[in-house]
A and B are shown apart, each in its own frame.
Chain A
Protein backbone atom coordinates (compact mmCIF):
# COMPACT_ATOMS: atom_id res chain seq x y z
CA UNK A 1 0.00 0.00 0.00
CA UNK A 2 0.95 3.66 -0.36
CA UNK A 3 2.04 5.23 2.91
CA UNK A 4 2.43 8.85 3.93
CA UNK A 5 3.41 10.88 6.98
CA UNK A 6 1.88 14.13 8.06
CA UNK A 7 3.92 17.26 7.48
CA UNK A 8 4.99 19.33 10.49
CA UNK A 9 2.35 21.82 11.54
CA UNK A 10 4.56 24.83 10.80
CA UNK A 11 4.97 23.76 7.20
CA UNK A 12 1.21 23.23 6.86
CA UNK A 13 0.57 26.71 8.27
CA UNK A 14 3.00 28.21 5.80
CA UNK A 15 1.21 26.47 2.92
CA UNK A 16 -2.17 27.73 4.12
CA UNK A 17 -0.89 31.29 4.46
CA UNK A 18 -3.57 33.90 5.16
CA UNK A 19 -6.44 31.95 3.60
CA UNK A 20 -9.63 32.17 5.65
CA UNK A 21 -11.71 29.17 4.60
CA UNK A 22 -9.78 25.95 4.88
CA UNK A 23 -10.97 22.49 3.94
CA UNK A 24 -8.96 19.57 5.26
CA UNK A 25 -9.63 16.70 2.87
CA UNK A 26 -8.74 13.20 3.97
CA UNK A 27 -8.74 10.09 1.84
CA UNK A 28 -10.25 6.93 3.22
CA UNK A 29 -8.09 4.45 1.33
CA UNK A 30 -4.30 3.93 1.67
CA UNK A 31 -3.53 6.93 3.88
CA UNK A 32 -6.42 6.03 6.18
CA UNK A 33 -5.09 2.50 6.61
CA UNK A 34 -1.66 3.88 7.50
CA UNK A 35 -3.36 6.15 10.06
CA UNK A 36 -2.11 9.37 8.47
CA UNK A 37 -4.75 10.93 6.27
CA UNK A 38 -8.15 9.34 6.71
CA UNK A 39 -11.24 11.16 7.92
CA UNK A 40 -10.14 10.76 11.55
CA UNK A 41 -6.79 12.39 10.94
CA UNK A 42 -8.42 15.11 8.83
CA UNK A 43 -10.66 15.92 11.79
CA UNK A 44 -7.65 16.08 14.11
CA UNK A 45 -5.77 18.44 11.80
CA UNK A 46 -8.87 20.62 11.40
CA UNK A 47 -9.20 20.81 15.17
CA UNK A 48 -5.55 21.73 15.54
CA UNK A 49 -5.88 24.49 12.96
CA UNK A 50 -8.89 25.90 14.78
CA UNK A 51 -7.11 25.76 18.13
CA UNK A 52 -4.12 27.57 16.67
CA UNK A 53 -6.23 30.22 14.97
CA UNK A 54 -8.13 30.84 18.19
CA UNK A 55 -4.91 31.01 20.17
CA UNK A 56 -3.35 33.46 17.73
CA UNK A 57 -6.53 35.51 17.33
CA UNK A 58 -7.03 34.74 13.65
CA UNK A 59 -10.52 34.34 12.23
CA UNK A 60 -10.59 31.25 10.06
CA UNK A 61 -13.16 28.62 9.19
CA UNK A 62 -11.83 25.11 9.10
CA UNK A 63 -13.92 22.20 7.88
CA UNK A 64 -12.93 18.64 7.27
CA UNK A 65 -14.13 15.95 4.93
CA UNK A 66 -12.86 12.78 3.30
CA UNK A 67 -13.22 11.17 -0.09
CA UNK A 68 -13.43 7.42 -0.31
CA UNK A 69 -10.56 7.66 -2.80
CA UNK A 70 -9.10 11.02 -3.75
CA UNK A 71 -7.40 9.45 -6.76
CA UNK A 72 -10.63 8.71 -8.61
CA UNK A 73 -12.75 11.34 -10.34
CA UNK A 74 -16.06 9.81 -9.27
CA UNK A 75 -15.30 10.05 -5.59
CA UNK A 76 -14.14 13.63 -5.94
CA UNK A 77 -17.60 14.63 -7.18
CA UNK A 78 -18.89 13.75 -3.73
CA UNK A 79 -16.83 16.47 -2.05
CA UNK A 80 -17.13 19.07 -4.82
CA UNK A 81 -19.41 21.42 -2.87
CA UNK A 82 -17.10 21.58 0.11
CA UNK A 83 -14.09 22.16 -2.14
CA UNK A 84 -15.93 24.93 -3.95
CA UNK A 85 -16.63 26.72 -0.67
CA UNK A 86 -12.99 26.67 0.49
CA UNK A 87 -10.20 29.16 -0.20
CA UNK A 88 -7.63 26.42 0.15
CA UNK A 89 -7.83 22.64 0.38
CA UNK A 90 -5.32 20.80 2.53
CA UNK A 91 -5.21 17.33 1.10
CA UNK A 92 -4.11 14.47 3.31
CA UNK A 93 -4.12 11.96 0.45
CA UNK A 94 -1.02 10.48 -1.18
CA UNK A 95 0.63 12.42 -3.99
CA UNK A 96 -1.74 10.82 -6.47
CA UNK A 97 -4.83 11.91 -4.56
CA UNK A 98 -3.51 15.41 -4.00
CA UNK A 99 -2.85 15.86 -7.70
CA UNK A 100 -6.18 14.36 -8.70
CA UNK A 101 -7.92 16.83 -6.44
CA UNK A 102 -5.83 19.71 -7.75
CA UNK A 103 -6.51 18.72 -11.35
CA UNK A 104 -10.21 18.09 -10.90
CA UNK A 105 -10.81 21.44 -9.22
CA UNK A 106 -8.10 23.53 -10.94
CA UNK A 107 -7.23 26.30 -10.35
CA UNK A 108 -8.39 25.78 -6.77
CA UNK A 109 -5.48 26.06 -4.33
CA UNK A 110 -4.72 22.52 -3.16
CA UNK A 111 -1.88 21.99 -0.71
CA UNK A 112 -0.28 18.79 0.57
CA UNK A 113 -0.61 18.16 4.31
CA UNK A 114 1.36 14.92 4.11
CA UNK A 115 4.58 13.62 2.61
CA UNK A 116 3.96 10.46 0.60
CA UNK A 117 6.89 8.24 1.46
CA UNK A 118 6.70 4.69 0.21
CA UNK A 119 5.03 1.60 -1.09
CA UNK A 120 5.09 -0.20 2.20
CA UNK A 121 4.13 -3.47 3.76
CA UNK A 122 2.41 -3.36 7.16
CA UNK A 123 4.85 -5.51 9.10
CA UNK A 124 2.82 -5.23 12.29
CA UNK A 125 0.17 -2.82 13.52
CA UNK A 126 1.46 0.73 12.97
CA UNK A 127 4.78 -0.35 11.40
CA UNK A 128 5.38 -0.19 7.66
CA UNK A 129 8.39 -1.35 5.70
CA UNK A 130 9.30 -0.24 2.19
CA UNK A 131 8.98 -3.10 -0.25
CA UNK A 132 8.73 -1.63 -3.76
CA UNK A 133 9.80 1.44 -5.71
CA UNK A 134 7.73 0.67 -8.81
CA UNK A 135 10.90 0.41 -10.92
CA UNK A 136 8.94 -1.06 -13.82
CA UNK A 137 11.26 -4.06 -14.29
CA UNK A 138 10.69 -6.57 -11.51
CA UNK A 139 13.53 -9.02 -10.99
CA UNK A 140 12.54 -10.60 -7.72
CA UNK A 141 12.00 -13.89 -9.52
CA UNK A 142 15.80 -14.10 -9.54
CA UNK A 143 16.28 -12.95 -5.97
CA UNK A 144 14.11 -15.25 -3.93
CA UNK A 145 11.20 -12.84 -3.76
CA UNK A 146 13.26 -10.12 -2.05
CA UNK A 147 13.75 -6.84 -3.91
CA UNK A 148 17.37 -5.61 -3.89
CA UNK A 149 16.45 -2.38 -5.66
CA UNK A 150 14.56 -1.10 -2.66
CA UNK A 151 15.89 -3.24 0.19
CA UNK A 152 19.62 -2.91 -0.55
CA UNK A 153 20.71 0.62 0.42
CA UNK A 154 22.84 0.77 -2.73
CA UNK A 155 20.40 -1.08 -5.00
CA UNK A 156 23.08 -3.64 -5.82
CA UNK A 157 22.11 -6.28 -8.34
CA UNK A 158 24.97 -8.74 -7.92
CA UNK A 159 25.27 -9.66 -4.28
CA UNK A 160 26.24 -8.04 -0.99
CA UNK A 161 28.81 -5.26 -0.77
CA UNK A 162 31.65 -5.29 1.75
CA UNK A 163 29.51 -3.56 4.35
CA UNK A 164 27.29 -6.55 5.09
CA UNK A 165 27.85 -7.81 8.62
CA UNK A 166 25.89 -10.28 10.71
CA UNK A 167 22.98 -10.03 8.30
CA UNK A 168 22.84 -6.26 8.65
CA UNK A 169 23.50 -3.39 6.27
CA UNK A 170 26.31 -0.91 7.01
CA UNK A 171 23.73 1.83 6.65
CA UNK A 172 21.35 2.61 9.48
CA UNK A 173 17.94 4.15 8.94
CA UNK A 174 16.94 7.77 9.63
CA UNK A 175 16.01 6.87 13.21
CA UNK A 176 19.28 4.92 13.57
CA UNK A 177 17.32 1.71 13.24
CA UNK A 178 19.14 -1.33 11.90
CA UNK A 179 18.49 -2.39 8.33
CA UNK A 180 18.68 -6.00 7.24
CA UNK A 181 21.16 -6.73 4.45
CA UNK A 182 18.90 -7.57 1.51
CA UNK A 183 21.56 -9.76 -0.09
CA UNK A 184 22.11 -11.75 3.08
CA UNK A 185 18.35 -12.37 3.10
CA UNK A 186 18.38 -13.24 -0.60
CA UNK A 187 21.26 -15.69 -0.10
CA UNK A 188 19.45 -17.47 2.75
CA UNK A 189 16.22 -17.61 0.74
CA UNK A 190 17.96 -18.95 -2.37
CA UNK A 191 19.69 -21.60 -0.28
CA UNK A 192 16.38 -22.61 1.26
CA UNK A 193 14.97 -22.89 -2.25
CA UNK A 194 17.96 -24.87 -3.49
CA UNK A 195 18.66 -22.18 -6.10
CA UNK A 196 22.08 -20.96 -4.91
CA UNK A 197 23.36 -20.76 -8.48
CA UNK A 198 21.15 -17.73 -9.06
CA UNK A 199 23.45 -15.82 -6.73
CA UNK A 200 26.29 -16.15 -9.20
CA UNK A 201 24.55 -15.47 -12.48
CA UNK A 202 25.49 -12.15 -14.00
CA UNK A 203 22.73 -9.59 -13.70
CA UNK A 204 23.10 -6.92 -16.35
CA UNK A 205 22.48 -3.26 -15.57
CA UNK A 206 18.86 -2.47 -14.92
CA UNK A 207 16.71 -0.72 -17.49
CA UNK A 208 15.88 2.45 -15.59
CA UNK A 209 13.99 3.84 -18.58
CA UNK A 210 11.12 1.73 -17.28
CA UNK A 211 11.27 3.61 -13.98
CA UNK A 212 10.70 7.32 -13.41
CA UNK A 213 13.99 7.98 -15.24
CA UNK A 214 12.08 7.36 -18.44
CA UNK A 215 9.76 10.29 -17.78
CA UNK A 216 6.23 10.06 -16.38
CA UNK A 217 4.83 6.65 -17.12
CA UNK A 218 1.49 5.87 -18.69
CA UNK A 219 -0.35 2.59 -18.79
CA UNK A 220 -3.20 1.89 -21.19
CA UNK A 221 -5.22 -1.32 -21.27
CA UNK A 222 -6.87 -1.15 -24.67
CA UNK A 223 -8.91 -4.27 -24.11
CA UNK A 224 -10.44 -2.78 -21.01
CA UNK A 225 -11.20 0.70 -22.32
CA UNK A 226 -14.92 1.53 -22.59
CA UNK A 227 -16.37 1.02 -26.06
Chain B
Protein backbone atom coordinates (compact mmCIF):
# COMPACT_ATOMS: atom_id res chain seq x y z
CA UNK B 1 0.00 0.00 0.00
CA UNK B 2 2.61 2.48 1.13
CA UNK B 3 4.54 3.63 -1.83
CA UNK B 4 1.58 3.59 -4.17
CA UNK B 5 -0.76 5.61 -1.97
CA UNK B 6 -0.16 9.34 -2.21
CA UNK B 7 -2.60 11.06 0.12
CA UNK B 8 -4.35 14.28 -0.66
CA UNK B 9 -3.97 16.60 2.27
CA UNK B 10 -5.58 19.98 2.76
CA UNK B 11 -3.84 22.53 4.96
CA UNK B 12 -5.67 25.54 6.26
CA UNK B 13 -2.81 27.91 6.88
CA UNK B 14 -2.83 31.20 8.68
CA UNK B 15 -1.59 34.12 6.64
CA UNK B 16 0.44 35.49 9.57
CA UNK B 17 2.41 32.39 10.48
CA UNK B 18 2.13 29.04 8.75
CA UNK B 19 1.77 30.44 5.27
CA UNK B 20 4.85 32.59 5.79
CA UNK B 21 6.62 29.62 7.40
CA UNK B 22 5.92 27.60 4.25
CA UNK B 23 7.46 30.35 2.20
CA UNK B 24 10.48 30.34 4.48
CA UNK B 25 10.78 26.57 4.26
CA UNK B 26 11.04 27.01 0.52
CA UNK B 27 13.68 29.71 0.84
CA UNK B 28 15.61 27.47 3.20
CA UNK B 29 15.39 24.72 0.59
CA UNK B 30 13.80 22.36 3.12
CA UNK B 31 12.06 19.30 1.75
CA UNK B 32 8.50 18.44 2.54
CA UNK B 33 6.01 16.19 0.77
CA UNK B 34 4.09 17.50 -2.19
CA UNK B 35 0.92 15.88 -0.86
CA UNK B 36 -0.20 18.98 0.96
CA UNK B 37 -2.32 21.64 -0.67
CA UNK B 38 -2.61 24.89 1.15
CA UNK B 39 -5.48 27.28 1.55
CA UNK B 40 -4.59 30.62 3.05
CA UNK B 41 -6.81 32.10 5.75
CA UNK B 42 -6.57 35.47 7.45
CA UNK B 43 -6.59 33.51 10.75
CA UNK B 44 -7.32 29.87 11.66
CA UNK B 45 -10.05 31.31 13.86
CA UNK B 46 -12.08 31.70 10.66
CA UNK B 47 -12.05 27.96 10.21
CA UNK B 48 -15.32 26.28 11.06
CA UNK B 49 -16.34 22.69 11.65
CA UNK B 50 -18.13 22.49 8.32
CA UNK B 51 -15.00 23.53 6.39
CA UNK B 52 -13.05 20.60 7.75
CA UNK B 53 -15.96 18.24 7.14
CA UNK B 54 -16.42 19.44 3.57
CA UNK B 55 -12.81 18.59 2.80
CA UNK B 56 -13.25 15.10 4.25
CA UNK B 57 -16.56 14.70 2.44
CA UNK B 58 -14.86 15.61 -0.83
CA UNK B 59 -12.30 12.89 -0.26
CA UNK B 60 -9.34 14.59 1.42
CA UNK B 61 -7.31 11.87 3.16
CA UNK B 62 -6.18 14.29 5.83
CA UNK B 63 -6.82 17.86 6.84
CA UNK B 64 -4.95 20.09 9.19
CA UNK B 65 -4.96 23.63 10.36
CA UNK B 66 -1.70 25.45 10.89
CA UNK B 67 -1.98 28.52 13.05
CA UNK B 68 0.19 30.78 15.14
CA UNK B 69 1.87 29.72 18.34
CA UNK B 70 -0.60 29.73 21.22
CA UNK B 71 -0.60 33.15 22.80
CA UNK B 72 0.67 34.79 19.64
CA UNK B 73 -2.43 34.89 17.45
CA UNK B 74 -2.69 38.16 15.55
CA UNK B 75 -6.35 38.19 16.56
CA UNK B 76 -5.54 37.05 20.08
CA UNK B 77 -7.44 33.74 20.32
CA UNK B 78 -8.24 32.64 16.75
CA UNK B 79 -5.82 29.72 16.93
CA UNK B 80 -7.32 28.56 20.24
CA UNK B 81 -10.78 28.51 18.69
CA UNK B 82 -9.36 26.57 15.74
CA UNK B 83 -7.93 23.93 18.07
CA UNK B 84 -11.30 23.48 19.76
CA UNK B 85 -13.04 23.10 16.40
CA UNK B 86 -10.46 20.64 15.16
CA UNK B 87 -10.95 18.63 18.34
CA UNK B 88 -14.71 18.71 17.83
CA UNK B 89 -14.28 17.39 14.28
CA UNK B 90 -12.11 14.59 15.70
CA UNK B 91 -15.08 13.64 17.90
CA UNK B 92 -17.47 13.76 14.95
CA UNK B 93 -15.17 11.56 12.87
CA UNK B 94 -14.83 9.06 15.69
CA UNK B 95 -18.63 8.92 15.92
CA UNK B 96 -18.70 8.16 12.19
CA UNK B 97 -16.13 5.41 12.53
CA UNK B 98 -13.43 7.41 10.74
CA UNK B 99 -9.98 7.85 12.28
CA UNK B 100 -9.89 11.15 14.21
CA UNK B 101 -6.17 11.37 13.38
CA UNK B 102 -7.16 12.47 9.90
CA UNK B 103 -7.59 15.99 11.23
CA UNK B 104 -5.03 17.89 13.26
CA UNK B 105 -4.00 21.29 14.54
CA UNK B 106 -0.41 22.54 14.34
CA UNK B 107 1.04 25.75 15.71
CA UNK B 108 4.14 27.57 14.46
CA UNK B 109 5.53 31.02 13.99
CA UNK B 110 6.36 32.66 10.67
CA UNK B 111 10.04 32.12 11.48
CA UNK B 112 9.68 28.36 11.84
CA UNK B 113 10.19 27.09 8.33
CA UNK B 114 11.64 23.85 9.66
CA UNK B 115 8.62 23.30 11.87
CA UNK B 116 6.35 23.77 8.88
CA UNK B 117 8.26 21.18 6.90
CA UNK B 118 8.32 18.80 9.86
CA UNK B 119 4.56 19.11 10.35
CA UNK B 120 3.89 18.43 6.68
CA UNK B 121 6.22 15.42 6.76
CA UNK B 122 4.86 14.01 10.00
CA UNK B 123 1.23 14.42 8.98
CA UNK B 124 1.74 12.98 5.50
CA UNK B 125 3.47 9.97 7.02
CA UNK B 126 0.61 9.59 9.49
CA UNK B 127 -1.99 9.60 6.71
CA UNK B 128 0.05 7.18 4.61
CA UNK B 129 -0.05 4.78 7.53
CA UNK B 130 -3.80 5.28 7.96
CA UNK B 131 -4.47 4.64 4.29
CA UNK B 132 -7.01 6.38 2.07
CA UNK B 133 -10.09 8.20 3.32
CA UNK B 134 -12.95 5.70 3.00
CA UNK B 135 -14.91 8.52 1.38
CA UNK B 136 -13.69 8.90 -2.16
CA UNK B 137 -15.51 10.54 -5.01
CA UNK B 138 -14.47 10.41 -8.60
CA UNK B 139 -13.75 13.80 -10.10
CA UNK B 140 -14.22 15.73 -6.88
CA UNK B 141 -11.35 17.93 -5.75
CA UNK B 142 -11.05 18.24 -1.97
CA UNK B 143 -9.08 21.42 -2.42
CA UNK B 144 -11.77 22.99 -4.59
CA UNK B 145 -14.52 21.78 -2.24
CA UNK B 146 -12.79 23.21 0.81
CA UNK B 147 -12.21 26.50 -0.98
CA UNK B 148 -15.84 26.63 -2.01
CA UNK B 149 -17.01 25.92 1.53
CA UNK B 150 -14.85 28.74 2.81
CA UNK B 151 -16.26 31.17 0.25
CA UNK B 152 -14.85 34.64 0.74
CA UNK B 153 -12.97 33.59 3.88
CA UNK B 154 -10.11 31.98 1.91
CA UNK B 155 -7.43 34.32 0.64
CA UNK B 156 -5.99 34.05 -2.87
CA UNK B 157 -3.08 31.63 -3.31
CA UNK B 158 0.31 33.26 -3.67
CA UNK B 159 3.31 31.63 -5.25
CA UNK B 160 5.54 30.34 -2.45
CA UNK B 161 9.27 30.88 -2.62
CA UNK B 162 10.65 28.13 -4.79
CA UNK B 163 9.26 25.48 -2.46
CA UNK B 164 7.15 23.84 -5.11
CA UNK B 165 10.07 23.54 -7.47
CA UNK B 166 12.25 21.94 -4.83
CA UNK B 167 9.57 19.55 -3.77
CA UNK B 168 8.93 18.53 -7.31
CA UNK B 169 12.62 17.86 -7.81
CA UNK B 170 12.31 15.69 -4.75
CA UNK B 171 15.94 15.90 -3.65
CA UNK B 172 17.40 19.26 -2.90
CA UNK B 173 21.00 19.49 -1.66
Contact = CB atoms under 8 A, between A and B. Distances in A.
Task: Let me know if chains A and B touch directly in the complex, using CB atoms closer than 8 Å.
Answer: yes
Interface of A: 8-10, 40, 43-44, 47-48, 50-52, 54-55
A54 B57 CA distance: 8
Contacts of A55: 96-98, 134-135
A202 B92 CA distance: 51
28 contacts: A9-B95, A9-B96, A10-B95, A40-B50, A43-B50, A44-B50, A44-B92, A47-B50, A47-B53, A47-B54, A48-B92, A48-B95, A48-B96, A50-B57, A51-B53, A51-B56, A51-B96, A51-B98, A52-B96, A52-B97, A54-B57, A54-B134, A54-B135, A54-B136, A55-B96, A55-B98, A55-B134, A55-B135
Interface of B: 48-50, 53-54, 56-57, 92, 95-98, 134-137
A126 to B, nearest CB: 10
A51 B103 CA distance: 15
Nearest to A47: B53
A82 B63 CA distance: 32
Contacts, number: 38
Contacts of B137: 54
A47 B48 CA distance: 13
A44 B92 CA distance: 10
B135 A51 contact: yes
Contacts of B135: 51, 54-55
Nearest to B89: A44
A51 B97 CA distance: 10
Contacts of B134: 54-55
A211 B53 CA distance: 43
A55 B97 CA distance: 9
Contacts of A8: 95
Contacts of B49: 44
Nearest to A126: B84
B50 A48 contact: no
Contacts of B92: 44, 48
Nearest to B135: A54
Contacts of A48: 53, 92, 95-96
Contacts of B48: 40
Nearest to B93: A51
A82 B56 CA distance: 26
Nearest to A49: B96
A155 to B, nearest CB: 34
Nearest to A52: B96
A52 B54 CA distance: 13
B99 to A, nearest CB: 12
